[in-house]
Amino acid sequence: MEAKVAPRLWRRLFKRDQQAELDPNRADLVVVASSFDDAEACSTALTRATGLTLDEPAVLRHHLRIPPRHVETVCAIAAQDGYAPAPQVGGPGTDPLETVILQRVQLLDALHCSQERSRMAGLAQRHDGNANGWDALQPRLRP
């Protein structure tokens, strides 16, 4: 049993295995887990997730609302941790805050999801914005 656990643990610790293979812009990605409730624990959201494969990489996306003057700074800070802005859908609205979706590929578990959620909430708050929630995408399961 140790032989099976060690490679999986190694992949989680050093994040070098399959993550580079998952393109966040793939057309077959679907939302497999999400939470837009500040009071909901990531572990609860992941428990109720449908179609999530925990040993496979996922695209973790954080949905932020940031004043336009801070968007570039927020994206630059998040890039230091491997996040990139997702392509924008739609145009500018009447809201004074701009929607920014920051995403990166990673293995998803409750601890790391919670840590990243907290990090993104702090980043948004320090730049006069807020974090609305997160979701995770993986390729659609084949029947």
Average confidence score pLDDT of the chain: 86
Residue 58 in domain: yes
DSSP-H helix ranges across the chain: 2-14, 42-47, 71-79, 110-126
Residue 35 in domain: yes
Question: Has residue 89 got a pLDDT over 80?
Answer: no
In whole angstroms, give the CA distance from residue 115 to residue 110.
Answer: 9
Tokens standing for 99?
A: 């929607």
Query: If you average pLDDT over residues 111-127, what whole number do you get?
Result: 96
Question: Containing domain of residue 58, as a range?
Answer: 18-139
Residue 94 in domain: yes
As beta bridge partners, residue 133 has: 63
- When divided into structural domains, the chain yields a total of 1
pLDDT on residue 10: 55
Residue 131 in domain: yes
Percent of the residues in the chain that have a pLDDT greater than 90, as a whole number: 71
Phi-psi region of 82 (alpha: psi -120 to 50; beta: other; left: phi over 0): left
pLDDT on residue 6: 56
Question: Has residue 15 got a pLDDT over 50?
Answer: yes
Q: Which pLDDT band holds residue 1 (cuts at 50, 70, 90)?
A: very low
As beta bridge partners, residue 60 has: 104, 136
Residue 135 in domain: yes
CATH number of residue 41's parent domain: 3.30.70.970
Residue 59 in domain: yes
Residue 49 in domain: yes
Question: Has residue 67 got a pLDDT over 90?
Answer: yes
